[in-house]
Structure 1
């Protein structure tokens, strides 16, 4: 079984999957301002992907990505204003100039790099396979052929699922909804980002699930900006500064309880 070790990593996923589902379903135009002063930067995020971004009990945004972007803003003298959007609407919003940047556990892929620019990688992740605890037939990716698979729309997990011969793919607006479908027994597996899947399972809000096999992929998250954005250099400078002064490690420890891995300057190409 795949394990993602962390101490004090489990935090309250709820007020719950219901609250997150409401945010996603509404599409969200919520704006939340970070620090004052400096140039304003409107940053899109989908607050339905804990522990990276979610909505707290008081409606405030919280998570690793939120803390990280605020720290980058402070280091780069940028006034961060968050805007909630559905995940599959973030890249179009960047292309249309409706937002200045986006941080939402977005994997750097060659396809996305054709339409948006990315910062240097800020998180190393990968896709994991979740099944019900009593399932002994699925041990890895090849066992998912001809199975019922749930994924979050617009994600790399959804792209990977397309490669499965004979699989029936169900798409959902958020990862918690896909995992709930699995918990309800309506699908055989979920392909989703490993940290988010493990967080949902270990938080205790989704009973009877487990992660199997090895990571399907090795991925890196980046902050997305419109092509040729003048803000890219400042965002990278801010990210580099907080990595060098220890702020990044403090935020990583807060949410994952372990030391962060070494990150490359650019995402490896497959």
Structure 2
């Protein structure tokens, strides 16, 4: 019996050593070929917003994330992997999306992420799939009607940590005080409680908030150009190429426009033509 126990102990030690050696020799997930992994598992894992109406919002009835970007991701997955390809979704925020990508927890980010030179130092982007523009959400009757009005003394603007909207306010309304929240839900709550005079981010996101909150409106038009791209880890040339090809295909076939119109076609005040690719 003692020999058997020693034998089991030795085998367990060898197995543990093998696991360690194997894991040490393997590449980190972020450095593996994402396209090959996706094909082998028949799955692409996308990072999406779950607090942003129209783009990605959690449905509390079935715990499924729904929205424009979710539908685009599903369409791209089918084009890349075939009709039986599966799209898996992981909830991200403006703060967590890049760390989750670089750690290999997700394959790509499709989460209202503007293509900027600063972000291109960390990740690669696909071609743009949506053209947004930064705007303002205010309570109806507010004296703030455009970004210039934010320069008035004592004005506080609400934004979200990790978005480039806050940086833009520094350029367009340098006299305004900025209060940053962790996500859009908290930013909207802060606006309603009077902690700020206006909430700023991309117009598509703000129109989603206005739909659910009739006492608030989007004002000032678009004062920036915010092209959204799908972010992937650097070095994933094949995956990036596949995404761009798939985007081109769904645009050419009209599938993209159907998805866009499904979510934005009837949003009052939203310029469908500007966003359309």
C-alpha separation in 1, matches of 2:179 and 2:274: 33
- Find out whether 1:102 has 2:109 as its counterpart: yes
Correspondence list, 1:1-270, <5 A = 39-56=42-59, 57-77=61-81, 78-136=85-143, 138-145=144-151, 146=153, 147-163=155-171, 164-201=173-210, 203=211, 205-229=212-236, 230-257=238-265, 261=274
Q: 2:58, 2:64 within 8 Å by CA — same for their partners in 1?
A: yes
Larger Rg: 2
TM-score by length of 2: 0.75
Deviations along 1:129-165, one digit per CA (max 9) or x if unpaired, are 12222222x2322221241111111112122233443
Which of the pair has the greater relative contact order for Cα pairs under 8 Å at 6+ separation? 1
**Could you list the runs of 5+ residues in structure 1 that have no partner in the other structure?**
1-35, 265-270
The count of residues paired between Structure 1 and Structure 2 equals 227
User: The residue matched to 2:194 in structure 1 has which SS?
Assistant: coil
What is the CA–CA distance in structure 1 between the aligned matches of 2:254 and 2:205, rounded to whole Å?
24
SS at match of 1:231: helix
Cα separation, 1, equivalents of 2:174 and 2:116: 23
Contact 2:257-2:276 at 8 Å conserved across structures: no
User: Is the Cα contact below 8 Å between 1:51 and 1:255 reproduced in 2?
Assistant: yes
The question of whether the paired residues in 2 share the 8 Å contact of 1:45 and 1:104 is answered with: yes
Aligned equivalents of 1:102, 1:213: Cα separation in 2: 29
| TM-aligned CA deviation for residue 207 of structure 1 | 4.1
| RMSD over equivalenced CA pairs, Å | 2.3
